[in-house]
Amino acid sequence: MRVLLPFLVIWLCALSPASQAADIAIDNTLLQRMAGLTRMYPVQGPASVQGRRTPVFLAAPSAYSDAAPDGLVGVGESYDIIRFDGPVVQGDAEKLAQVLRAPTGHPAKFIVFNSPGGNFLEGIRIGEVIQADLASQDPSIRGLYVLNGDGCHSACAVAFTMGADKRSDDTRFIEYGAAVGFHMPYLSGDKGDGQIPINEAMDLAYEITAAYNVIITEGLSPPVLLRDALRHRSADSLFILSGNLQAWAYGFTPVARNPLIRPLGWSGITLADVQGMCFTAFAAGRGFKSAADLEFGIVETYPHPDGMLLQELAQQLGSASVTFTTQGGAQCQMSLRDDGTMGLLSWQGGANCLSGRGGPTPSIAPCASLPGGLNTVRAALLADTFGCSNGVQATAGLSWYNALNSPRLRDDMVFPIRQQTRVLRNVSLRDAPATGGQRLTVLEAGPQTYAITGCRVTNDDQALWLQLATPDGTGWISARFAAPPDDLKWNSPFVPQRP
């Protein structure tokens, strides 16, 4: 029996010639490209998907903290790097399994993908090979990578996404400048007219459903990944994730080098920055969030002004660690470390106040907290708070709820971001994004707003500079003297690409 199935979009790629098959082999020269890559955002794992991860200060010293190094692969360490380079064709899963089984003297393996995709079902098989290794008693795979300038699309993206261990922290690393592209499988070749035997169509549909079921129900990535992949249904239409905040929100681990991963110093950080970074980390993080959390989830700093320095508040409270709460009951702890860097942890549940909260709002006022091994705050998070993801200004946004929960995106959900800021403390306007730039004028703190016309993440102690249009001309100020744009207080700075 044959039936026309115009609604079923399945990729049945014909087998590629052997010359076009992927190269799957040990290539330890890739260590040089991987050395020094560091997580841009806090570690996430299966417990964080449920939003009940035990805060570090109550857990074992090494649990979910910087006790585990942020640097992922070091030159000279005992690893083998498996290169998967080229189209995905039938038989690649077995080839990968053979390379994993081959004795090399290095039990730990990393897999680096660079593939345009290919046979979708073989991509699923590759993901199953990786999962079988990760679930074994002695797994050899330590992580999967897509490196800067490379891509992992279609069938490759499915294999990459399936390759996570639900028992441990995520190890699917996407370097800044890489691209992982998703779309639904589609018909090609002599089956492009959509006429296939119904039993074959159903078998293929079951395989695809089972793969995405693993990805979603086991918490490897959130359901919105399937939502956004479904919108792209042809070879030249891909939903792209790069090494940025959006990839982190979809469950992956973005990695980079300086300046994006430079630890953020707490000097000059205001409570407005704390509000922005805490809510961005909470909203984009994998923990459970209700609609109310995302609508009212910004942390409370009242009765303190948003221009107050975090350092001043910590001194008032007599603690280097301060916990902020939201009206939804989530917590965000900021820690000022002796080395000048900052730590952050957000979670659902009770606060860890050393004593009761004071002031006119005792239930939500910031409080002195127990110290703990919180995740290092890096320049990337401050940049995202200002809508400067990876140094590129956001021009459109979505509410966090629509970005991560709405089952179907509509054009009327997207709105233009007004890139405007207020100056919280008097600051020099300079002709270049550096403290050595020539001073053009001084902008005074106040309610006046200025248009942000550019931004730059820099490898200095300021980390982020904003280009402003002022009555005295265009110039640069350190973001530490400015308030994040109001349009980003409750909203996502990214919008999934349209087909």
pLDDT (tens digit per residue) in 280-312: 998 998 877 877 788 777 788 888 999 999 999
Q: What is the 3 state secondary structure string of the chain?
A: CEEECCCCCCCCCCCCCHHHCCEEEECHHHHHHHCCCEECCCCCCHHHHHCCCCCHHHCCCCCCCCCCCCECCCCCCCEEEEEEECCECCCHHHHHHHHHHCCCCCCEEEEEEEECCECHHHHHHHHHHHHHHHCCCCCCEEEEEECCCCEEECHHHHHHHHCCCCCCCCCEEEECCCEEEECCCCCCHHHCCCEEEHHHHHHHHHHHHHHHHHHHHCCCCCCHHHHHHHCCCCCCCCEEECCCHHHHHCCCEEEECCCCCCECECCCCEHHHHHHHHHHHHHHCCCCCCHHHHHHCCCCCCCCCCCCEHHHHHHHHCCCEEEEECCCCEEEEEEECCCCEEEEEEEECCCCECCCCCCCCCCCCCEEECCCCCEECEHHHHHHHCCEECCEECCEEEEHHHHHCCCCCCHHHCEECCCEEEECCCEEEECCCCCCCCEEEEECCCCCEEEEEEEEECCCCCCEEEEEEECCEEEEEEHHHECCCHHHCCEECCCCCCC
Domain ranges of the chain: 2-37+72-242, 271-381, 388-492
Fold type of domain 2-37+72-242 = 2-enoyl-CoA Hydratase; Chain A, domain 1 (3.90.226)
Which of the four pLDDT bands, split at 50, 70 and 90, describes residue 193? very low
129 with 96: CB under 8 angstroms? yes
Average pLDDT over every residue of 145-169: 92
The confidence score (pLDDT) of residue 357 equals 60
Which of the four pLDDT bands, split at 50, 70 and 90, describes residue 450? very high
- pLDDT at position 406 over 50: yes
Question: Class for domain 388-492, per CATH?
Answer: mainly beta
Average pLDDT over every residue of 368-396: 87
- Return d(Cα 482, Cα 382) in angstroms, integer: 12
pLDDT (tens digit per residue) in 456-471: 999 999 999 999 999 9
The confidence score (pLDDT) of residue 291 equals 78
169 or 495: which leads in pLDDT: 495
The confidence score (pLDDT) of residue 57 equals 37
Average pLDDT over every residue of 368-397: 87
Tokens of 158: 């499915």
Of the ranges 14-18, 194-198, 235-239, the best mean pLDDT one: 235-239
Token look-up 């970005």 returns 403
332 with 323: CB under 8 angstroms? yes
- pLDDT at position 204 over 60: yes
300 with 361: CB under 8 angstroms? yes
The confidence score (pLDDT) of residue 196 equals 61
Which of the four pLDDT bands, split at 50, 70 and 90, describes residue 373? low
- pLDDT at position 6 over 50: no
Which of the four pLDDT bands, split at 50, 70 and 90, describes residue 14? very low
Task: Using a pLDDT cut of 70, give the percent of the chain over it.
Answer: 85
- Return d(Cα 105, Cα 46) in angstroms, integer: 31
pLDDT (tens digit per residue) in 233-245: 888 899 999 999 9
- pLDDT at position 358 over 60: no
Which of the four pLDDT bands, split at 50, 70 and 90, describes residue 216? confident
228 with 182: CB under 8 angstroms? yes
Judge if 2-37+72-242 and 388-492 fold alike in CATH terms: no
When the pLDDT of each residue in the chain is averaged and rounded to a whole number, the result is 84
120 with 154: CB under 8 angstroms? yes
The confidence score (pLDDT) of residue 19 equals 45
